[in-house]
Chain A
Amino acid sequence: MKYIDEFQDPGLARRLLDEIHATVTRPWALMEVCGGQTHSIIRHGIDQLLPKQVELIHGPGCPVCVTPLEVIDKALEIASRPGVIFCSFGDMLRVPGTGRDLFQVRGQGGDVRVVYSPLDALRIAEQNPEREVVFFGIGFETTAPPNAMTVHQARKRGIRNFSLLVSHVRVPPAIEAIMRSPECRVQGFLAAGHVCSVMGTAEYPELAARYRVPIVVTGFEPLDILEGVRRTVLQLERGEHAVDNAYPRAVRAEGNPAAKAMLDEVFEVTDRAWRGIGVIPDSGWRLSERYRDHDAEIRFSVEGIDTREPAACRSGEVLQGLLKPHECEAFGTLCTPRSPLGATMVSSEGACAAYYLYRRLDLGSARRQGQASSAPGAPSAPFPADASANVPPLEGSSVV
């Protein structure tokens, strides 16, 4: 799947690729932090259009994927309680908790509702004063300000039957955790454009200097990603490690000051567990003391829930860039978007789902030739027959 005619400006894409090819003299490993970028990279075959020496490692920036299993289980428990209206974004419905998901809770009579915006959940709370309304507040710095504003509004308007189940995460501590890992191979980062449109770029120079890695703020469209890669590779070849903004139409150095002020007002920084990775210090937000009475974990006494991942799922290694999705023994056999073992196969931003959707046939032929799998005794066809029936053939061509 390596097309360039889907790019909005194939001529510009070609020029950017030519420049990258002309710049690279040795192998480099770049990490795109954001799951939206991972999706775009795999969908457009950007990783295969790049020179062989440029490896893209897929980072942990898929909020659905990194939400810990125990938080999912807390959501399922709260959503099952009588009198509760549990509101969530649509992409959490199919994320497997222990033995079930929100979609099944709804089938069993739970009042689970999907909203476009957290403000919709607040409106539901206002309209149903006799019910407890809970919103599932997950996501990175892009999603945290809307949720902060919603809790702030609940407080301001005295809507007491609204609470937030919070599992927000922050990008810079995750970059730090990745760089501190002894197995780290990352030499440069594409920073997540929309996170930076809120937070600005002030958190990154220190990281770039301390770990001697270029950090290039990058957008989501194929051309944006190529430009981010081009600028990162250029810095690496020159031995530089600066913060650069390759997405200026949406990112200003100061970010969005009003959104940042609201984050400080409503949330406080806390240690947070990332699914498949473990606890990263200072990597999350929880409600601050002032807003603690809107904390669903406390309101529903679910702090005690503590669950473990299924052993077969290696999403933690995938999320840290230590394993490519198709190198997992369960990929496409035990684990598919229809029956996911872990969240990286559920969310369209998850690396496993992206590989499954866009690479199955490529990987299948590669596996049959014994090139792609590190799993001994891996099945020759990495996808079950039931799922292949409705998937149009991919334009295969060997990875260059």
Chain B
Amino acid sequence: MCLAVPGRVLDIEDRGGTRMATVDFGGVVKEVCLEYLPDLEVGEYAIVHVGFALQRLDEESARRTLELFEDLGMLQEEFGDPWEAADGMTASGMTASEITAGGVAEGERLVHEDVVGEGHR
């Protein structure tokens, strides 16, 4: 709900007196209202929440955030099929929030002991 996702402005047009843009969120393209950031330009990034651009973001941090959200499956939650999610059960037998959680990733993990040296105990 409060997830706000960085997106890149592809195109801007005036629609019936409202400034609207097509915005790319790491491959997902959505219509976004620019009324709260009227001077945003094509090619710039902004934080977008429920179809509204709320604040500018620099390109590097926007890209990093998008990559992270992609890895965590958070874009799926924001732009995925809400009915499938609400149905509670999916093909993989996981609940919506379990999908959002991305299950538990594979592979080697650094655990707490690797991070915090003995000196901190």
Binding site for B on A (CB under 8 A): 1-6, 8, 10, 13-14, 17-18, 21, 34-36, 43, 45, 48-49, 51, 61-64, 89-91, 93-94, 103, 114, 116-120, 138-140, 142-143, 145-146, 149, 153, 156-157, 192, 194-195, 197-198, 220-221, 249-252, 256, 258-259, 262, 337-338, 347-349, 353, 357-358, 389-395, 397, 400
Contacts and interface: CB of A to CB of B under 8 A. Distances in A.
Nearest to A392: B104
Contact of A139 (B2, B35, B38, B71): B2
B121 A400 contact: yes
Interface string B109-120: 111111111001
Contacts of A89: 1, 50, 82
Contact of A116 (B51, B100, B110): B51
Contacts of B18: 153
B40 to A, nearest CB: 11
A225 to B, nearest CB: 12
A63 B1 contact: yes
A358 B83 CA distance: 24
B11 interface: no
Interface string B35-52: 111100000000101111
A14 B95 CA distance: 33
A149 B36 contact: yes
Given A8-B68, A89-B50, A91-B1, 5 more contacts: A3-B109, A17-B116, A61-B2, A64-B1, A391-B103
Contact of B54 (A63, A120, A145, A400): A145
Contact of A194 (B49, B77, B79, B100): B49
B44 to A, nearest CB: 14
Contact of A117 (B52, B77, B86, B109): B52
Contacts of B16: 157
A395 B51 contact: no
Contacts of B67: 8
13 contacts: A2-B112, A36-B2, A49-B115, A93-B82, A114-B83, A117-B51, A119-B31, A143-B2, A143-B50, A145-B54, A194-B4, A349-B1, A392-B103
A90 B2 contact: no
B2 A192 contact: yes
A400 B34 CA distance: 47
A262 B52 CA distance: 13
A348 B36 contact: no
B96 interface: yes
A204 B6 CA distance: 26
Closest 8 CB pairs of A and B: A117-B51, A90-B82, A93-B86, A2-B112, A114-B82, A146-B52, A197-B55, A348-B97
Interface string B11-36: 00000111000000000001101011
A103 B86 contact: yes
B115 A353 contact: no
A259 B96 CA distance: 32
Nearest to A357: B101
A142 B49 contact: yes
Contacts of A146: 33, 49-52
Which of B35, B95, B117, B121 has most chain A Cβ within 10 Å? B95
Nearest to A93: B86
Contacts of B10: none
